[in-house]
Amino acid sequence: MRTIIFFLIFLVFISCRKKTDSNIEFEITDFPVEKNIESEVMTVPPVLLAPENMCISDNKLIILSTKKDTLIDVFQLPECKYLFSDGIKGAGPNDLPIDIDPKFIQAEEDVFRIFSPLGYIKEYTINNNKIVDRKKQKINTKYLDYPVNGFKILSDNLFICTTGINDNHNFEFVQINSDTGENHLFGSSPDWINNQWVKGMEPFVYVKNTVVHPDGTKFASFYGFFKRWRIYDAKTTQLIRDISVHVSPYSKEVEEDILDRTVYYRGYPRASEKYIYALCKNQKYGYNSNENTELQVWNWDGNPVAILNLNHKIDLFAVSEKEKRIYALNRNEGHEDKIYVYTIPVLN
């Protein structure tokens, strides 16, 4: 009986993960768990106008929009009670950068950080329903175009971001050390399709979003037009895993016309100590459906954990491991007063 049980466990394992010729390349053919989960809809004042990013800091949900006079909306968690809106672009001590990068906002405990492509990070805290400037840190932007994409903080002095469109020397990332002033190119560009039209278009074909492990030791990169993602050692810059997700719908083809391409990973992935959460669209570029959203859950070894089918279309989300909840937004018009709250099911 015990032998049969072990054999069945082995069959489940190999059905989810197939090792290829390389010791870092893996093909995933199935997820061990798939669950449909329903949200609680929290009604808030209609302040969420075209939100562009969000994070959680000290039991507060911080939502960034750049199309309003005040860029930051703050809500108390877990009840999603609206607290205040603050933050204008300017040169004052508590102002947000004029050239704020909406792709980057990062929170830690009681602070959150915003990046300026001109080469500095501003750190803020929340005090008495106001956003208060704490410090400004200058960094070296060598090898980076304007605007900078995929900027992430590894530690107080170490950062990564994707290289610019020009002069990237066939590397995807640059590691920035603010102590030494050195920038290090790494991560060879993929060569997943051989069509001639791709030559010179690599930065637009291999678009991606990254997420860093909370301890800054690893990061994961999810590709928009490929059902693939990679894990890197953030300090050594070595590629750890190259994961291809052969789960329907799936195709190796990438069309030259962007409107004919299928978009897989979109939005900003999120991470906890154990898991990575990534939205997977599985739809043609530009197709704006109100259908449910697939949220994939992975562990930091590159193993599939679960597919969570959310009952609403979701564009942005943040994860609270403390509350075991996902707070999510739909950016479309008509959703300015809604925050969707999902309880994270048991994943083990």
**What is the distance between the alpha carbons of residues 162 and 100, in angstroms, rounded to a whole number?**
17
- What CATH number did the domain enclosing 36 receive? 2.120.10.30
Residue 13 counted as domain residue:
no
| pLDDT tens digits for range 54-94 | 999 989 999 999 888 899 999 999 999 999 999 888 777 77
Which runs of consecutive H residues, i.e. helices, occur in the chain? Answer: 2-16, 202-205
**What is the distance between the alpha carbons of residues 228 and 28, in angstroms, rounded to a whole number?**
10
Residue 130 counted as domain residue:
yes
**What is the distance between the alpha carbons of residues 243 and 231, in angstroms, rounded to a whole number?**
8
pLDDT of residue 1: 47
- Beta bridge partners, 85, equal 73
Q: Which domain holds residue 38?
A: 24-343
pLDDT of residue 2: 43
**What is the distance between the alpha carbons of residues 16 and 1, in angstroms, rounded to a whole number?**
23
- Beta bridge partners, 163, equal none
Residue 325 counted as domain residue:
yes
Residue 10 counted as domain residue:
no
Residue 327 counted as domain residue:
yes
Residue 3 φ/ψ, nearest 5 degrees? -65, -40
Q: Which two tokens stand for residue 138?
A: 């200058």
Which of 188, 89, 192 shows the shortest CA–CA distance to 131? 89
End-to-end CA distance of the chain: 24
Which of 75, 84, 65, 85 shows the shortest CA–CA distance to 43? 75
Residue 348 counted as domain residue:
no
10-residue mean pLDDT profile of the chain (348 residues): values are 39 46 84 96 94 93 90 95 91 76 84 85 90 86 66 89 71 88 88 84 87 95 96 94 93 86 92 96 76 91 96 94 93 92 91
DSSP 223-260: ESSSSEEEEEETTT--EEEEEEE--SS--S---SSGGG
Q: Is the pTM of this model over 0.85?
A: yes
Residue 328 counted as domain residue:
yes
pLDDT of residue 5: 39
**What is the distance between the alpha carbons of residues 95 and 78, in angstroms, rounded to a whole number?**
28
3-state secondary structure 144-159: CCCCCEEEEECCCCEE
Q: Enumerate residues 6+ apart whose C-beta is below 8 A from 324.
A: 343, 344
Residue 7 counted as domain residue:
no
Place of tokens 């800054």: 216
pLDDT of residue 162: 86
Q: How many CA atoms lie within 13 A of 5 on its CB side?
A: 2
Domain count, the chain: 1
pLDDT of residue 340: 97
3-state secondary structure 278-303: EEEEEEECCCCCCCCEEEEEEECCCC
